[in-house]
């Protein structure tokens, strides 16, 4: 049973969920997915399209409505709803492994998994309590932060399998961030990967470029959400520094976030709208837009919770051959970028810091650009290939099914019902 608090009608699971599930399905693992869908995204056409795709891999799908307000009480309602459903569904479908993607699914599924003596995987996509605190949603002194933090650490300590995105957070777990596990468990590091058959260096689509009015050089691109812990102001400050070096530089922002908010920040920073393109794009087409750019941007606000972050956009940028500019402290990204010479790390958000980053990008773009593209692509293939991610997930599933006690309900060795 694969449980996600994100919906299948959202882009995220189509890049960081379904590719792994499809790959494992081909290897003989049968999946049922439980997701929580945002009402405005659930249309008959969207549901039919998803069900058709899932049926090709014999993947089951159960869905509930995601509730947003009132804050926390709505989430509690979703947790109780999921808990009650899993309590019945796990024995009914003879589920062998319960795979919780992030903390909220883990909270709702841990006790049902334990009650029915099923293996429990906590796929840690981030530190929920720490992220709430870093985003300003909760104060670390509040009782709710303390409860969520304690529950999250307990689930990590008691899971049969732990999947994390970075070596940094795995190291934190080993070095006392959580209490010692009560029994031997499997821990696997699997960063956010990309389909490198889809994300490849390619010639820009001239019609698309002309349609968007992109004619400058170099083009910087940002793909993803904006707000909370994303450092939009600092990214715009960097772009202004780049414009002082290259007058024709342009900025392409692909986001589902509020475009009015982004335009307000552009105006307040003095960034010309003529030099920027802001738009939402279906995830299936994002590689076409990345191909228009020369440099990928990853800007996050500094915070402890970022040690658990592996940006999907990093794998996509590198797969397309783009060097990157990344703020320091984002998972294992800084070390990777510096070691592989595939971009620059913005160590301080000051005029001199931006200048150093622009200097480094200029060296990467003005030197042997083909070598830069090749290094980026090579790094993507070695660290972020979706096929490697599928293999690592299969390793975890295989180890847990080997450990599965015979419950008299047909526990399997070569395959599993998740």
The pLDDT > 90 percentage for the chain reads 74
* Tokens (6 digits) for 27: 């290897």
Does 241 score more than 80 pLDDT?
Answer: yes
Listed in order, strand segments (DSSP E) in 38-159 are: 60-65, 97-101, 119-123
User: What is the per-residue pLDDT across 305-323, written as a single tens digit (0 to 9) for each?
Assistant: 899 999 999 999 999 999 9
Task: Tell me the C-alpha distance between 112 and 230, whole Å.
Answer: 35
Lowest mean pLDDT, pick from 9-13, 359-363, 402-406: 402-406
Collect all residues with Cβ–Cβ distance below 8 Å to 67 and sequence separation of at least 6: 74, 75, 77, 78
User: What is the per-residue pLDDT across 130-164, written as a single tens digit (0 to 9) for each?
Assistant: 988 888 888 999 999 999 999 999 999 899 999 99
Whole-Å CA distances, 178 to 104, 145, 174, 310, 329: 18, 16, 8, 20, 21
Other Cβ atoms within 10 Å of 213 Cβ, number? 10
Mean pLDDT of 203-223: 93
Task: Tell me the C-alpha distance between 371 and 367, whole Å.
Answer: 8
* pLDDT for position 402: 61
**% helix / strand / coil in the chain, to the nearest 5?**
50, 15, 35
Mean pLDDT of 50-66: 94
Other Cβ atoms within 10 Å of 159 Cβ, number? 24
Mean pLDDT of 373-380: 96
Lowest mean pLDDT, pick from 5-9, 91-95, 100-104, 409-413: 409-413
* pLDDT for position 13: 86
* Tokens (6 digits) for 148: 């969520």
Q: Grade residue 176 by pLDDT with cuts at 50, 70 and 90.
A: confident
* pLDDT for position 27: 85
Task: Tell me the C-alpha distance between 105 and 83, whole Å.
Answer: 9
The size of the chain, in residues, is: 418
Mean pLDDT of 365-390: 93
CA angle 144, 4, 92 (to 5 degrees): 110
pTM for the model: 0.90
* Tokens (6 digits) for 314: 């990093």
**Helix H segments across 9-72?**
11-16, 18-26, 44-55
Does 403 score more than 70 pLDDT?
Answer: no
Does 404 score more than 50 pLDDT?
Answer: no
Residue 2 Cα to chain centre, angstroms: 16
Does 23 score more than 60 pLDDT?
Answer: yes
The Cβ-side half-sphere exposure at 83, using a 13 Å CA radius, reads 14
Task: Tell me the C-alpha distance between 371 and 392, whole Å.
Answer: 30
Does 210 score more than 80 pLDDT?
Answer: yes
Task: Tell me the C-alpha distance between 405 and 382, whole Å.
Answer: 36
Write the DSSP symbol of residue 93: T
Whole-Å CA distances, 318 to 315, 326, 363: 5, 13, 17
Q: What is the mean pLDDT of the chain?
A: 90
* Tokens (6 digits) for 156: 């990590």
Give φ, ψ of 219 to 5 degrees.
-105, 125
Q: In the chain, what are the domains? A: 2-193+385-403 (3.40.50.2000), 206-383 (3.40.50.2000)
* pLDDT for position 184: 54
185: left (phi over 0), alpha (psi -120 to 50) or beta: beta
Bridge partner list, 343: 324
DSSP assignment of 212-278: HT---SSEEEEES--STTB-HHHHHHHHHHHHHH-TT-EEEEE-SS-HHHHHHHHHHHT--GGGEEE
């Amino acid at each position: 049973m694969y449980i996600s608090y994100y919906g299948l009608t959202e882009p995220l699971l189509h890049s960081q969920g379904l590719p792994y599930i499809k790959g494992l399905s081909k290897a003989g693992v049968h999946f049922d997915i439980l997701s929580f869908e945002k009402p405005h995204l659930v249309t008959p056409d969207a549901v039919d399209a998803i069900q058709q795709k899932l049926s090709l891999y014999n993947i089951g799908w159960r869905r509930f409505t995601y509730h947003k307000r009132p804050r926390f009480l709505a989430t509690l309602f979703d947790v109780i709803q999921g808990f009650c459903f899993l309590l019945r569904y796990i024995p009914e479908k003879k589920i062998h492994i319960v795979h919780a993607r992030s903390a909220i699914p883990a909270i709702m599924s841990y006790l049902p998994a334990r009650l029915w003596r099923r293996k429990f995987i906590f796929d840690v996509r981030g530190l929920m309590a720490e992220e709430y605190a870093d985003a300003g949603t909760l104060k670390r002194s509040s009782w709710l932060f303390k409860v969520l933090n304690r529950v999250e650490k307990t689930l990590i300590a008691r899971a049969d399998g732990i999947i994390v995105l970075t070596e940094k957070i795995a190291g934190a777990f080993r070095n006392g961030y959580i209490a010692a596990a009560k029994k031997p468990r499997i821990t696997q590091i699997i960063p956010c990967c990309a389909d490198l058959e889809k994300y490849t260096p390619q010639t820009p689509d001239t019609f698309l470029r002309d349609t968007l009015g992109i004619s400058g050089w170099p083009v910087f691109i940002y793909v993803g959400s904006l707000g909370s812990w994303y450092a939009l102001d600092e990214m715009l400050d960097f772009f202004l520094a780049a414009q002082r070096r290259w007058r024709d530089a342009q900025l392409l922002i692909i986001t589902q976030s509020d475009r009015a908010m982004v335009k307000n920040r552009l105006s307040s920073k003095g960034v010309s709208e003529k030099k920027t393109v802001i738009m939402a794009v279906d995830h299936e087409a994002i590689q076409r837009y990345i191909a228009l750019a020369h440099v990928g941007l990853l800007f996050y606000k500094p915070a402890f919770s970022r040690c658990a972050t592996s940006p999907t956009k990093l794998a996509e940028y590198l797969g397309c051959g783009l060097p990157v500019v990344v703020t320091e402290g984002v998972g294992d990204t800084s070390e990777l970028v510096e070691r592989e010479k595939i971009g620059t790390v913005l160590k301080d958000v000051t005029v001199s810091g931006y200048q150093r980053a622009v200097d480094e990008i200029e060296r990467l773009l003005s030197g042997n650009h083909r070598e830069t593209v090749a290094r980026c692509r090579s790094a993507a293939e070695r660290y972020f290939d979706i096929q490697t991610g599928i293999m690592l997930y299969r390793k975890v599933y295989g180890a847990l099914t080997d450990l599965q006690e015979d419950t008299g309900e047909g526990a399997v060795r070569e395959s599993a019902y998740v």
